[in-house]
Structure 1
Amino acid sequence: MIHTYEEALEWIHGRLKLGIKPGLKRMEWMMEKLDHPERRLKAVHVGGTNGKGSTVEMIRSILQEAGYHVGTFTSPYIEQFNERISVNGKPISNEEIVQLTNVIKPLAEELENTEWGGPSEFEVITAMAIYYFAKIRPVPLVIFEVGMGGRFDSTNVIIPILTVITNIGMDHMEYLGDTVEKIAFEKAGIIKNGIPVITAVHQEDALAVIQNKSKKGRSSLYRLGKEFSVEHVASVPEGEKINLSSVLGSWEDLIVGLKGVHQVENAALALMAASYLKTFFSFLIEEEHIRDGLKNAFWPGRMEVLSEKPLVMMDGAHNPDGIKALTETIKQRYSEYKRTILFAALKTKKIDDMVRSLEEIADELVFATFDFPKAAGQEEFSDCNGTYIGEGWPSFLKEKTASLQENEILMITGSLYFLSEVKKAFQKNK
């Protein structure tokens, strides 16, 4: 029996030693033991390589502006573990974490003695979220973010009313494959028969995989550039101004509060998802809810301003495509600034590719490591042009922030796990 929040987190995080365990047998077993809570949910399933969290947040924000209570399951977290299971953007309480742990822990221990073995940390957290939204805090809609891939991701036990696939990029290749077709096949694994799909995937080979899967399952498919299109009008101080035209409606001069040109496609997906829910599931969503929802959306660790004067920002660009999007945003918005980049990554990522992109925009490039399994260290950065400071980044962060001039920016990027540590240190120093 777990009695405290600290005990609950210790047990949950203790599952990390089991690593990543693809497959749905353990999740299906737990769902059966829990009397299938996944069948009680009305859910939207969001997969893809980049932009999943931002898309989840914008869908949630629009629906919340329309007066709905919306549950979200996301990963990883930036400030607090509880963020992963939230209602209207508010993390669940410590007491609820303890309650959920006491529901799932006995099942995990029983699973240890089966042919499938005990569940991973992510499987445990997914089961907790499903049980929470089905039994403890039912809401009109839950948005589930895929952890990795899709076909064998633990979230794939849900049967959603709508599927969203953001894009396809070369990430997690040791698990998903080394071509866009192979990765698209895994991502398309969340497509269910008869459940509509909205996607911004643009590579022909990857899109063909999604189209074939949708066609075989008789799932309606809404493709960016086909059934809907988006125009980036301008970058403005509040974010990005866009126009969107679709088979479900058209809107002009919308402001996306999440900064970066890469957020334009994510906003288009969110708007299409909201439009579909309004058209086919009678969600009462008006144009003002769409405008306010997109404008007010906020997602930690995505072009997040930690300090305005001096200018310190962080962005969770943790793979080559994410880094490219970040560099384009910095070129567009901060071309007149002297730019210092603090970067940390996991050694499983394509570090050389990411560093080459960062070199294009950095006046000073600094590499760090942090206390996390598989965090890249000095060996991984040995051939990179820049300064390696190892675990000395808290002192660097404090000193650099104090010395920044008006025309300078410090951008912290890379692993979201690193950003979580940075934000804690920054708030402490502040």
Structure 2
Amino acid sequence: MRTMNEENQQTQDAFSSYEEAVEWITGLVPVGIRPGLKRMETMMEMLGHPERRLRFIHVGGTNGKGSTCAYLTKVLVRAGYDVGTFTSPYLERFTSRLRYNEKDIPDEDLLRMANRVKPIADELAQTELGHPTMFEVTTAVALLYYGTVTYPDYVVWEVGLGGRLDSTNIVAPVVSVITNVGHDHMDVLGDTIEKVAFEKAGIIKPGVAVVSAVEQPEAVEVLEQACRERKCSLYLLDREFRFEAVSSELNRQEFDFESPFRRIEGLAISMNGYHQYKNAAVAVMVLEVLRQYYALLVEDEDLNAALYETQWPGRLEMIGENPRILIDGAHNPEGAEMLADAIGTTYPHDKVHLMMGMLATKEHSGYLKHILAVVDTLVITEPDFRKKMDAEKLAELARSMAEEANRQIEIVVEPDWKQALARLKAQTGPDDLAVVSGTLYLISDVRSWVINRTDSEKGW
């Protein structure tokens, strides 16, 4: 395999524009998901191990990863640290998944990084390891960007899928986070909560503290076992740390926080939904661990201001006022439960009209159980993505479940998502609430169309 100098000399003509680079990366989606770290290990070696120059906060879990990453990033940046943030999927532009101090990677830097990775990917494709996947290439680009261009103090590093065999697991973090464990990606991660928890616990490293809000006893047992084997301290919500909800109103929720280290009162967040208390508490516990273990300096006034300023697009985000349109990327049973709770407690309404589109690989029955309990109209559409769930088949399931639950719900089938959105708007009265939920591929398109009247680049 080529040396770094040879690799640098042979990459200059790979791509001439940002668009070409992104087209190459996103064009790798059909390669699929191929769990394992050997390709990442080989790429990192060929690139001079940029990941070894960085401090990572590795964030895994089923739901809440993005919000937790957003809280951590906002607080650290406000406290004066330089922060890289790697998340997925992106809602509008590919560059949104690689951020530095809350700004997208510049197009020209993305182009340069892609030109360095391309020949290495081509070389791997000729070996028994095979061509790196889209997510592996994107992860390599991110590590190059942070490890050779920006050198942030911390990288907030979100797991793509699972943890143990995810390409992000190439790094050695200063703290590991597992937000929760739920019923998602079970076709890849395993068909029980224990199996899913085992895969997510794979990001736990020897001697590195773990912060988690996992609740199920069987999942907690898996985490505890992993921490015992790897001699890690586990900080578990409602055991080592806790929050007390003080008040909740639209766009403002207040809580007190307590950990083994200290108590902090009067914290506030502007993101809605009870689950955001948990996400914020997890983020605060991570910061407290960094304060104790790594002398992180964050003033309480910066902590409080940053928590309240934090937003995360596509999660309980109001993007329209006439009619009111709420979007939320709930796509699994746990996410649907959180969304249903927020609809019932946070957003006043006469009727609820919900538009949904899903991928075929998701657990639709568990999702629908929660959603059917709170909606008056269900508009079922299809996301513009190759793994989309057929709208009519999803509608058949919804009709059957509504009948079993003795729920009188109008169920509309409109495969074209733009037509479905028009139908949703037309049906929503002044005192009603329109909701768009399901896969983030749909949320991305709807968000971009409503806010900018443009199509999104959306992707994983």
Q: TM-score normalised to the size of structure 2?
A: 0.91
Give the conservation status (yes or no) of the 8 Å contact 1:45–1:163: yes
The equivalent of 2:23 in structure 1 is 10
Matching residue of 1:212: 225
> Contact conserved, 1:239 with 1:260, CA < 8 A, in 2?
no
Q: 1:413 aligns with which of 434, 437, 457?
A: 437
2:355 equivalent among 333, 342, 355: 342
Q: Can you list the C-alpha shifts for 1:273-321, whole angstroms capped at 9, x where unaligned?
A: 1112222212210111110111000111011110234311101101111
Contact 1:347 1:380 in 2 (8 A): no
Amino acid across the alignment from 2:451: Q
> Residue 244 in 1 paired to residue 268 in 2?
no
1:402 Cα shift? 5.7
Structure 2 match to 1:395 = 419
SS of alignment partner, residue 206 of structure 2: coil
Q: CA deviation at 1:74?
A: 0.2
For 1:423, the aligned partner's letter is R
- 1: CA distance, partners of 2:163 / 2:427: 45
Corresponding residue number in structure 2 for 1:384: 398
SS at match of 1:382: helix
Give unmatched runs, 5+ long, in structure 2. Answer: 1-13, 400-410, 455-460
Paired residue for 1:311?
Answer: 324
Code of the residue aligned with 1:110 in structure 2: it is E
- When the two chains are superposed, the root-mean-square deviation of aligned CA atoms in Å is 1.4
Map of 1:281 onto structure 2: 294
Aligned equivalent of 1:233: 246
My pick for the range that moved more, 113-122 or 241-250, is 241-250
Q: Mean Cα displacement is larger for which, 134-143 or 380-389?
A: 380-389
Q: Distance in 1 between matches of 2:347 and 2:274?
A: 13
Instruction: Extract structure 1 runs of 4+ deviating beyond 4 A.
Output: none
Cα distance in 2 between the residues matched to 1:4 and 1:13: 14
Alignment of 1:20-31 (within 5 A): 20-31=33-44
Contact preservation (8 Å) 1:55, 1:266: yes
Cα contact 1:195–1:219 (8 A) shared by 2: yes
User: Shift in Å at residue 5 of structure 1?
Assistant: 1.3
Letter in 2 for 1:34: L
Structure 1 residues 25-64: Cα deviation after superposition (integer angstroms, max 9, x where no partner): 0000000001111111111000011100100000111111
Aligned length, in residue pairs: 429
Question: 1:162-214 CA deviation, whole Å, 9 max, x = no partner?
Answer: 00110010111111111111111100000000111011111111111111111
Determine if contact 1:53/1:299 at 8 Å carries over to the other structure.
yes
- Which residue of structure 1 aligns with residue 103 of structure 2? 90
CA distance in 2 between counterparts of 1:381 and 1:114 reads 45
- Superposed CA offset, 1:92-146 (max 9, x none): 1111111111011111100001111010000000011111100011111001000
Q: Pick from 38, 45, 59: which aligns with 2:58?
A: 45
Q: Could you tell me whether the CA contact under 8 Å between 1:72 and 1:143 is conserved in 2?
A: yes
Tell me, what secondary structure is at the counterpart of 2:397? coil
Q: Deviations over 1:191-249 (max 9, x none)?
A: 00011101111111111111111111111111111110111222123232111111122
Q: Which residue of 1 aligns with 2:376?
A: 363
Please point out which of 32, 54, 58 is paired with 1:19. Answer: 32
Give SS of 2:414's match.
strand
Tell whether 2:93 aligns with 1:69: no
Q: Identify which range, 248-257 or 321-330, moves more after superposition.
A: 248-257
Candidates 164, 171, 179, aligned match of 1:166: 179
Amino acid in the other structure paired with 1:78: L
Unmatched segments (≥5 aa) in structure 1: none
How far did 1:403 drift? 6.0
Give the C-alpha shift of residue 429 in structure 1: 4.3
DSSP 3-state at the match of 2:146: helix
Partner of 2:141: 128
